[in-house]
Amino acid sequence: MNRRKFVGTSASAGLLALPSWVVASVNEPSVKITRIRIGLDRRNPPPPDDENNYWSEAIQVGDLCFYRAKGTTVAASRREIAAVIGNPYLYYFTTALRLHMRIKWAKLGIPSDI
């Protein structure tokens, strides 16, 4: 058996030794979900859930980014996701406040590009 044929058969044999979920996910994009506590201030322990204090999720699927809060998911940029993870407080001019309003508008059916 020549070297090329041996390398080809050993590579496919190596794939057969992996669990089926690994082989099936070889070409799938990576998914990263980060839970974030959105709120008005930095109290410890955090205040109970209400309109302005809640859990959200920053979702990255390959090159696509999404933001989910209160049962609604909206598209977001990679910069917005990084900013809301770094500063999850609803202050003036923060990305968290901008995404909070985008979620609110999506729930009301108002387009966010107005």
Distance CA 99, CA 101 (A): 5
Residue 13 has pLDDT above 50, yes or no: no
Per the model's pLDDT, the better-predicted residue between 85 and 7 turns out to be: 85
Alpha carbons 14 and 8: distance in angstroms, whole number: 10
pLDDT band at 110 (very low <50, low <70, confident <90, very high): confident
Residue 99 tokens read as 């995404």
**DSSP, res 48:** P
Question: Which pLDDT score, from 0 to 100, does residue 5 have?
Answer: 56
Tokens 């049962």 correspond to 71
What one-letter code names the amino acid at 11? Answer: A
Q: pTM, whole model, 2 decimals?
A: 0.72
Structure tokens at 59: 């979702």
**What is residue 114's predicted lDDT score, i.e. its pLDDT?**
56
Question: Is pLDDT larger for residue 43 or for residue 16?
Answer: 43
Looking at the chain, list the stretches that DSSP marks H as alpha helix, in order from N- to C-terminal side: 3-17, 20-24, 78-86, 95-108
Let me know the angle formed at the C-alpha of 64 by 62 and 65, rounded to the nearest 5 degrees.
115
